[in-house]
Amino acid sequence: MLRVEKRIDASKWMNYVIPIASLFMALIGGAALLGTQGISPLDAYCRIIKAAFGGSYEFSETIVKATPIAISSFAVMLCFSMLIWNIGVEGQAFMGALAAVAAVRYCHSDNQFYMLCTAAAFAIMAGGLWAMIAGFLRSKWNVNEIISTLMLNYIAIRILEYFVYGPWRDPSSLGFPITTRFPPSARLPQLFGSRVHVGIILAVFLAFAAWYILSKTRLGYEIRVIGENPKAARYSGMSYMKNVLVVMFISGAIGGLTGMTEVTGLHGRLQASFAAKYGYTAIIVAWLSHLQPFVILLASVLFGALLVGGEALQIELGLTLSTVEILQGLVLFFVLGGDFFRNYRLKFTWRTDK
C-alpha cells in the first residue's frame, strides 16, 4: 500500500534532483502530447535542441529570447520573495516601453549614451510608478495585488495600443500599428554581430544585484523576514507599507527596463505585440528557479530555447503555437508538482492487517 508522509527535513540534493527529474517527466508528458499529433517526440526534441543550441546563430537567438525573460524574472522574484504576488510585470514592461518611446520622441538627442540613459530613466519611472499603484492599494487598503496588477496589465496594454494605433503611428507604416523607426542614437548596442543586445549584460548584472540585495542588505533582510513571516516582521517593527512600496517600485522599474531594452535593443520601434507575454513567462521562470538569482539565468536560457525550438517546430513540423505553449505549461505543471516531493515522500508498505 502507498502512503504519503511529511518529510521532516528536505535534504540539499533534493533541490537539484527534483527539478531535473520534473523536467524529465515534463518531456515524457510532452512526448505523449506530440504523439497524438503524429509526430515523433524524439525527432521533435532533437529539432528543439538543434534550433536552440545547434550553432552560434541559433544560440544567439536563444539568448535574444532569454534576455527579456531573465530581466522580468528578477522583477517577479523580488516581489515573490516578500510574498507580494506581482503578476503585472507584463504591464510594467509595456509602460516602460511606452516611456522609452516618449523619451525618444520628446527628449531626442544625438548622443547615444545620453539618449539611452534618458530612455532608461523614463522606463524606470514609468514601470516603477505603475507597479506602485498596486503596491499602494495593497499596503493602504489591503487590496489583493494579484487582481490589481493583473487588471493594470489590461489597462497598460490598452494605453499602449492607443498610442501605437493613434497619435504615435508611423504615417508611412501602411496602417500597421507601429511607431516610427528609432534614430541610431536610441538603439541599444548589439553584441557579437548578432541580435543579442546589451540587455543580456543588464540581466547578468541584475542576477548579482538581486543576490547582493537579498543576502547582504538590510532591505533584503526585511524582504526575507516579511516573506517568511509577516507577523514576526510587524513584531520587529518593520514597516510593511514602506517595504511594499519600495519593492514594488524596484520590481516595476526592472519590468520597465524589460520593455525599454526590448524596443531599443531588438525592435528599434514600438509595436503593439512586442513583449510576447514575457511578463507571464517570467512568473514561471522565477518559480521554477525557487527564486534563486543565478538559477533564474539558467532557467531563462531554457525557456528561450523552448521558444526558439517551438518556433522551429511550428515552421518545420507545422505544429500550432498552442501545442508549443502546452509544452511549456507541462514544464511548469511538473515542476510545481515535483515540489510536493520536497516536502513529502511516498512510502510503500505491506498491508499488515487482514
Partner 1 sequence: MPLVEMKRITKRFSGVVANSNVDFSVEYGEVHALLGENGAGKSTLMNILYGLYHPDSGEIYIDGVKRVFRSPSDAILSGVGMVHQHFMLVETQTVWENMILGMKMPFVLPKKQIIKKIAELSEKYNLKVNPLSNVWQLSIGEQQRAAVLQMLYRNAKVLILDEPTAVLTPQESKELFVTIRNMTALGHSVIFISHKMNEVMNETDRVTVLRKGETAGTVNTKSPDTSQELLSEMMMGRKVSFDINKPKRDLGKVVFDVNSICASNDRGGAALKNISFRIRKSEIFGVAGVAGNGQLELCEAIYGLRVAVSGYVKINEKDLTNASARALMDCGVHYIPADRRSTGMVTALDVKSNSILTDYWIPPISSGNSINWKEAGNQAKSIIEQFNVSTPSVNTAVKNLSGGNLQKLMLGRELSNSPEVLIVMHPTWGLDVSATRYIRERIISASETGTAVLLISEDIEELLALSDRLAIIFKGEFMGIIADPKSMPIEKIGLMMAGTHISEVL
Euclidean distance between CA atoms 74 and 78, whole angstroms: 6
CB of 339 to partner 1, least distance (A): 15
CA torsion sign for 147, 149, 154, 155 is: positive
- In this structure, are residues 83 and 271 in contact, taking their beta carbons and an 8 Å threshold? no
Does 142 bind partner 1 (CB under 8 A)? Our answer is: no
Pick the stretch among 17-25, 39-47, 222-230, 280-288 that binds partner 1 (CB under 8 A): 222-230
Residue 197: phi and psi, rounded to 5, are: -115, 180
We find the least distance from the C-beta atom of residue 8 to partner 1, in angstroms, to be 4
What letter does residue 262 receive in the DSSP assignment? I
264-to-217, 259, 351 alpha-carbon distances in Å: 32, 9, 65
Specify whether the backbone of 197 is left (phi greater than 0), alpha (psi in -120 to 50) or beta.
beta
Total residues contacting partner 1 by CB under 8 A comes to 22
The binding track of 98-137 with respect to partner 1, each residue x by CB under 8 A or -, is: ----------------------------------------
Instruction: Pick the closer one to partner 1 by CB: 106 or 218.
Output: 218
Measured from the CB atom, is 227 or 279 closer to partner 1? 227
Determine, following the binding rule CB under 8 A, whether residue 228 of this chain makes contact with partner 1: yes
- The CB-of-226 to partner 1 minimum distance in angstroms stands at 9
Q: Residues 8-47: x/- map of binding to partner 1 (CB under 8 A)?
A: xx--------------------------------------
Query: Rounded CA gap, 188 and 115, in Å?
Result: 10
Least distance (Å) between residue 201 CB and partner 1? 24
Per the CB < 8 A criterion, the answer to whether 41 and 31 are in contact is yes
Of the candidates 22, 14, 12, the one whose C-alpha atom is nearest the C-alpha of residue 302 is 22
Decide if residue 276 touches partner 1 (CB under 8 A): no
217 binds partner 1 (CB under 8 A): yes
Enter the C-alpha cell of residue 197: 543586445
Residue from 12, 106, 142, 353 touching partner 1 (CB under 8 A): that is 353
Please identify, using beta-carbon distances, which residue of 158 and 347 lies nearer to partner 1.
347
Nearest to 296 by CA among 145, 26, 99, 76: 76
- Please count the other Cβ atoms lying within 10 Å of the Cβ belonging to residue 58: 17
- CB of residue 218 to partner 1, shortest distance in Å: 6
Helix (H) or strand (E) holding 3: strand 2-6
Instruction: Give the nearer residue to partner 1 in terms of CB position, either 146 or 219.
Output: 219
Query: End-to-end distance of the chain based on CA atoms, in angstroms?
Result: 13
Please say which residue, 108 or 242, places its beta carbon nearer to partner 1: 242
Of 36 and 352, which CB lies nearer to partner 1 in the complex structure? 352
- Which of 50, 105, 195, 224 touches partner 1 by CB under 8 A? 224
Q: Residue 14 Cβ, how far from partner 1 at the closest point, in Å?
A: 12
Q: Is 225 in the site for partner 1 (CB under 8 A)?
A: yes
Q: Which is nearer to partner 1, 229 or 273 (CB)?
A: 229
Comparing CA positions, the residue from 339, 341, 351 lying closest to residue 4 is: 341
Count of alpha carbons within 13 Å of 68, Cβ hemisphere only? 32
Cell (9 digits) for 262: 526590448
Residues near partner 1 (CB under 8 A) are: 3, 7-9, 216-219, 221, 224-225, 228-229, 231-232, 234-237, 349, 352-353
